[in-house]
Amino acid sequence: MKVNYYLLLLFLSSTAFSQENSYVDSLDVSIKKLSKEKQLEEILKIPYDKFIGNISKSEILTNKAVEIAVELNDSLSLAQAYSKLSLIYTYKDKREKKILYSLKAITVFEKLEEFDMAGNSYGELGFMLKHENIDDALLYMRKGIRLIKNSKSSKIDALYDNYGILQAILENFDSAIYYHNKSLMLKKANNDSIGIPYGYAHIATVNIIQKNFDIAKKYIDSSYVIRKKRNDIYGIADVYAYYGDLYFEQEDHLKSIDYFIKGFDLSKENKFYNLQKYCAEKITSSYRKLNNYKKAFQYNTIYQSLKDSTLNAQTNSRVAELQIEFETEKKEKEIAVQKEEILEQELQIKNKNLFNTALGSGLLLVCLLSFGVYKYQKNKRKQLRAQLVLKDELSQTKTQNKLQEQRLRISRDLHDNIGSQLTFIISSIDNLKFLTKTSDSKLKDKLSNINNFATSTISQLRDTIWAMNKNEITYQDFYGRVLGLIEKTKLAKNDVKFNLKNNVKSNIIFSSVIGINIFRVIQESINNTLKYAEASQIDIDFSEEKNTFNILIKDNGKGFDITTVEFGNGLNNMQKRIEEINGKIDLTSTINQGTSIHIRLDKNTTNAV
């Protein structure tokens, strides 16, 4: 029965694939006899699931739509074609191109005052940036939601769904479920058979994270039934990955591998590079859990080759530059509009003075003329001040852009030189471990130690690059980084319990120097505790007072006598880092009762708003 079931699934998937291809291929043939206007219309209204089901042919047709729209001078259709190209390059995992075409679409939509379409494109841009920069992702997503609400459009369900995913990334699971359900309600009201299975899958993801496995499976099953009925080839591959996630978290790794391989094969066949890469990574992790290192190595090699475009530092830099160019262009347009208004005001003032002069006579004329000259001079001084302010703003914007470009160049050099060398060392050590005989345990231990040291070094390098790439670090971004540090620590030291409390309500913003210094002190505190304290629990408490931001790190370890112990480099470095950012650090310890580190920073230093 099980064999027959798999054969049936294979038949359905093959049938779905042929139907997706048949639809787009047939359209390509049938529109050739139509007028260019009609060809453009037919390409732009290809259904979503058919469009991504044959991504290569869809790319050809969409580029054709761009050419026709330019030839017909049809700006709205051109922006819609740009938006579809952005979708294509999202599924092909081409980061620079998907950002480029998304920004192009937004620019045209805003120029045409198509604010509902601009809002949708802003939301898609925010969703694209969710793993690169969560702050920018939230900013663009919220702007998209606001634009669509103001335009009173009903096309907001997809943005709510994707905003729920961002909330899940931030571990705001109640908010994530709220927005997923809000989106799902709208999808059901619109009888959206394409969007409903996406909503089910996203709710399933949150329940998997929360270990509600029975609930998660019901939602995945519901998603699969609809996608199979629609013959949605991408949707079926996507559902296989969700089943894989479910069984991976349940530690049923044989089942997880089975579903991830189905998703991988179907994605590879249809060139869904982002989904193919995800499945390869998860297959690698599953085989490692089963200690099948040969298979893990095989799929890890595939995964590494697929992720090259995503991790390429030059691509990352170009994406950041595109965002800077986009924001700078918008600022310059605003300045140009203000200059036009100033010139118009000058013209109005001149015309008014001439009119008053023509009507006046005698003393009345002299009084009116004097008053007009006075008003003119006053307005002229006001306009000159406004122009100086505008020039100053533009100068500051250009200066900030140059500083950001310097940071990007430095971080790119660190990534390309030191980062790539460390990555080469790690890969070489992994290859040596596979080639070394299993009996040679001492050599393997030494290789593992070198591997761990190189991995730790590249992790610290990425933390530094993270700080350098930003003018400012929001508290939310900083807190997320600390969560990531704790999760990595748990994987390495699962016998230590972490309690993390967040009692900060203000929107605190750190400079990159302050952010990285505080992060390094927390990192050093945790490392010292794990090395020396023999603690079973570490408590980290973030809190605030009226003018102070506090961090308290406590453990229940063996403690030490501060009066007799000479501080090492680690504790001295912590002291210097906090003093450099004008903060205070207090260390207390009692033998057999643990150690506490209290860090205090003036909110004025952190630019709290």
- % helix / strand / coil in the chain, to the nearest 5? 75, 5, 15
- Structural contact between residues 493 and 456, judged by C-beta atoms closer than 8 angstroms: no
Q: Does residue 267 form part of some domain?
A: no
User: Which residue among 96, 112, 128 closes a domain?
Assistant: 112
pLDDT band, residue 53 (cuts 50/70/90): confident
Mean per-residue pLDDT, 289-307? 87
| Residue-level pLDDT at 585 | 92
What secondary structure letter does DSSP report for 239?
H
Q: Which of 41-45, 337-341, 491-495, 570-574 has the lowest mean pLDDT?
A: 337-341
For residue 215, pLDDT over 90 is answered with yes
Could you tell me if residue 565 is left (phi over 0), alpha (psi between -120 and 50 degrees) or otherwise beta?
beta
| Residue-level pLDDT at 207 | 94
Overall number of domains in the chain: 3
Instruction: Please tell me whether residues 66 and 87 are part of one structural domain.
Output: yes
Q: Does residue 197 form part of some domain?
A: no
pLDDT digits (tens, 9 = 90+) for 176-198: 899 899 888 988 988 888 889 98
Instruction: Please tell me whether residues 319 and 429 are part of one structural domain.
Output: yes
pLDDT band, residue 434 (cuts 50/70/90): low
Instruction: Name the pTM for this structure.
Output: 0.46
Residue 442: partners with Cβ closer than 8 Å, 6 or more residues away: none
Instruction: Please tell me whether residues 479 and 421 are part of one structural domain.
Output: no
Mean per-residue pLDDT, 493-504? 87
Mean per-residue pLDDT, 449-465? 64
Angle at 440 between CA 434 and CA 442, to 5 degrees: 105
Q: b/e map of 259-279 (b: 16 or more CB within 10 Å)?
A: bbbbbbbbbbebebbbbbbbb
Residue type, 188: K
Two structure tokens written together for 42: 């037919």
User: Which residue among 441, 469, 497 closes a domain?
Assistant: 469
C-alpha span between 482 and 493 (Å, rounded)? 16
- Structural contact between residues 66 and 44, judged by C-beta atoms closer than 8 angstroms: no
pLDDT digits (tens, 9 = 90+) for 529-569: 888 888 999 999 999 998 899 999 999 999 888 777 666 66
Angle at 469 between CA 467 and CA 473, to 5 degrees: 50
Q: Does residue 95 form part of some domain?
A: yes
**For position 50, which CATH number holds?**
1.25.40
User: Which residue among 454, 469, 484 closes a domain?
Assistant: 469
Secondary structure of residue 539 in the 3-state scheme: strand
Backbone angles phi, psi at 595, to 5 degrees: -130, 145
Instruction: Please tell me whether residues 320 and 460 are part of one structural domain.
Output: yes
- C-alpha separations of 524 from 75, 530, 569, 574 in Å: 55, 10, 10, 7
CA-based nearest residue to 528, from 483, 573, 487: 573
Residue bearing the bigger pLDDT, 112 or 327? 112
Residue bearing the bigger pLDDT, 90 or 244? 244
For residue 200, pLDDT over 60 is answered with yes
C-alpha span between 578 and 515 (Å, rounded)? 11
C-alpha span between 415 and 459 (Å, rounded)? 11
- Structural contact between residues 368 and 358, judged by C-beta atoms closer than 8 angstroms: no
pLDDT band, residue 8 (cuts 50/70/90): very low
For residue 378, pLDDT over 90 is answered with no
Instruction: Please tell me whether residues 15 and 26 are part of one structural domain.
Output: yes
The range of the structural domain enclosing residue 442 comes to: 312-469
Instruction: Please tell me whether residues 444 and 320 are part of one structural domain.
Output: yes
User: In percent, how much of the chain has pLDDT > 90?
Assistant: 20
| Residue-level pLDDT at 6 | 36
Secondary structure of residue 478 in the 3-state scheme: helix
Secondary structure of residue 121 in the 3-state scheme: helix
| Mean model confidence pLDDT for the chain | 78
Two structure tokens written together for 67: 């050419």
| Residue-level pLDDT at 222 | 93
Instruction: Please tell me whether residues 409 and 546 are part of one structural domain.
Output: no
DSSP string, 418-469: IIHHHHHHHHHHHHHHHHS-TT-HHHHHHHHHHHHHHHHHHHHHHHHHHHHT
Instruction: Please tell me whether residues 566 and 509 are part of one structural domain.
Output: yes
For residue 584, pLDDT over 90 is answered with yes
Ordered strands of the 537-544 beta sheet: 497-502, 537-544, 548-555, 594-602, 584-590
pLDDT digits (tens, 9 = 90+) for 458-475: 666 666 666 566 668 888
C-alpha span between 592 and 312 (Å, rounded)? 49
pLDDT band, residue 18 (cuts 50/70/90): very low
| Residue-level pLDDT at 356 | 59
**For position 538, which CATH number holds?**
3.30.565.10
Instruction: Please tell me whether residues 453 and 520 are part of one structural domain.
Output: no
- Structural contact between residues 599 and 584, judged by C-beta atoms closer than 8 angstroms: yes
| Residue-level pLDDT at 11 | 37
For residue 603, pLDDT over 70 is answered with yes
| Residue-level pLDDT at 404 | 54
Instruction: Please tell me whether residues 452 and 332 are part of one structural domain.
Output: yes
C-alpha span between 419 and 174 (Å, rounded)? 38
Q: Which of 137-146, 217-226, 252-261, 534-543 has the lowest mean pLDDT?
A: 137-146
Mean per-residue pLDDT, 405-409? 54
Q: Does residue 55 form part of some domain?
A: yes
Q: Does residue 231 form part of some domain?
A: no
Instruction: Please tell me whether residues 487 and 415 are part of one structural domain.
Output: no
Q: Exposure of 505 by Cβ count < 10 A (0-12 exposed, 13-18 middle, 19+ buried)?
A: exposed
| Residue-level pLDDT at 206 | 92
Residue bearing the bigger pLDDT, 144 or 320? 144
Mean per-residue pLDDT, 240-248? 94
DSSP string, 288-347: HHTT-HHHHHHHHHHHHHHSHHHH-HHHHHHHHHHHHHHHHHHHHHHHHHHHHHHHHHHH
Backbone angles phi, psi at 544, to 5 degrees: -145, 150
Residue bearing the bigger pLDDT, 582 or 489? 582
pLDDT digits (tens, 9 = 90+) for 90-119: 877 787 888 888 888 888 888 888 888 888
Q: Does residue 123 form part of some domain?
A: no
Instruction: Please tell me whether residues 329 and 413 are part of one structural domain.
Output: yes
Q: Does residue 545 form part of some domain?
A: yes
Q: Does residue 495 form part of some domain?
A: yes
* H or E element that contains 395: helix 362-413
| Residue-level pLDDT at 314 | 43
| Residue-level pLDDT at 379 | 77
| Residue-level pLDDT at 316 | 46
